[in-house]
Structure 1
Amino acid sequence: MSTDYSELTGDYTIDTSHSRMGFVARHAMVAKVRGNFDEFAGSVHVDGAKPENSTAQVSIQAKSIDTRNSQRDDHLRSNDFLDMDNHPEITFASTAVAPAGDDHFTVTGDLTIRGATKSVDIDFEYAGRAVDPYGNVRLGFEGKVVLNRKDFGVSWNAVLEGGGVMVSEKVTLEIEVSAIKNPA
């Protein structure tokens, strides 16, 4: 039996203090480095009767990258990676939403990183609805997508002595959203 999403219809604002825009990349072929973007904003329109009419958009400040290592973060902000001086924002704007099973959706959209825009399919799971102690209606979504960073012009790397490279081409974006329904 599928979930009835009709009560979810409305416009929502992403609650950045309870959401995460993160990523994972392999470092030196042996370890995973995780990071976040600490400054972002976004909105979601949910059409519960016709989920395919739902939309989402997000804007991330590239300078807000945080991997818990300031030297690495500075390198990631540089022209070698995000080139934040010339491309201060990473953006996503949905172009389609398709149900993909109970509580799962594929959100297709235009992702722009470092000035390069590519269409990506992000798999999302609807995590639920809650009313918080302040009377706010909240929706939760979790999603992820694996990207090739070279598709976005992020191509810096270093060859390792024993073979392999310093930074993997594949990066997993991890998205955890708590969105608050806007007043009618």
Structure 2
Amino acid sequence: MKSWISKTAIAIAMLVALPVLAHADVWQIDPAHTNVEFTVRHMMISNVKGQFQKTSGTITTNGNDPASAKIDVTIDSSSVDTRVEKRDAHLKSPAFLDVDKFPTITFKSTKVEAAGPGKWKVTGDLTLHGVTKPVVLDVEGTGTPITDPMGNTRAGVSATTKINRSDFGLTWNQPLEAGGVLVGDEVAISIDVEAIKK
């Protein structure tokens, strides 16, 4: 009797879940048309920009409901590029990203909230340099999905946020004789994502 009840409960649960699963859409991030850029203050007087060249991940939604989105992104930390080879080597070293020990940077969303027409606040866990902290992204849609010449459905969004690198154990710095430090603590992050519906 208990076995029959258990099987019946499982069957009912599956039937209830089917409509949700049937409407689940998976979008694959297109690395060739996705950019993750960061900006850091240099010597207290200017900004230095860089980017990560290798980003992958998925966005899963229930139909057209943005609030249902689940975002899972992985960045290859060794793909950091600031256009200066010596600086990139320093960023990859144990002084900063320590890419041999921490080869990836990840973001996993935990909540999506509407913030106006075509805008959302996306909260998630950012894991950087082996440390996980919650961050909030300001996200804006860049238009309705379109069909490309190959018949694929594509959509895009832009996002921004700011973090303090020291929160993630990235504390290397050098004092300046005139006062202040060589590298700022605050990091501004700008993301442009293009994704393809699977």
* Shared fold, TM over 0.5: yes
> Percent identity over the alignment?
43
Equivalent residue, structure 1, for 2:165: 149
CA deviation vs aligned residue, 1:46-103 (integer Å, no higher than 9, x gap): 3355322211111111110000001000000111111111111100001111111000
Equivalent residue, structure 2, for 1:56: 71
Equivalent runs, 1:15-34 vs 2, <5 Å:
15-34=30-49
Q: How many residues of Structure 1 are paired with residues of Structure 2 in the alignment?
A: 175
Equivalent residue, structure 2, for 1:13: 28
Equivalent residue, structure 1, for 2:140: 125
Equivalent residue, structure 2, for 1:93: 108
Unaligned runs of 5+ in 1: 1-7
For the residues of structure 1 that align with 2:179 and 2:146, how far apart are their CA atoms?
50
For the residues of structure 2 that align with 1:105 and 1:147, how far apart are their CA atoms?
18
Equivalent residue, structure 2, for 1:73: 88
Unaligned runs of 5+ in 2: 1-22
Instruction: Looking at secondary structure, tell me which structure has more helix per residue.
Output: 2
CA deviation vs aligned residue, 1:151-177 (integer Å, no higher than 9, x gap): 000000011111111111000111100
Contact 1:63–1:77 (CA under 8 A) maintained in structure 2: yes
The two structures have a TM-score, normalised by structure 2, of: 0.85
Q: 1:173 aligns with which of 169, 178, 189?
A: 189
Q: 2:180 aligns with which of 153, 157, 164?
A: 164
Contact 1:9–1:49 (CA under 8 A) maintained in structure 2: no
CA deviation vs aligned residue, 1:9-45 (integer Å, no higher than 9, x gap): 7210001101101111111111111111111211111
**4+ aligned runs moved over 6 Å, structure 1:** none
The two structures have a TM-score, normalised by structure 1, of: 0.91
Name which one, 1 or 2, has greater alpha-carbon Rg: 2
Residues 91/79 of structure 1: CA separation in 2 closer, same or farther (3 Å cut): same
Equivalent residue, structure 2, for 1:5: none
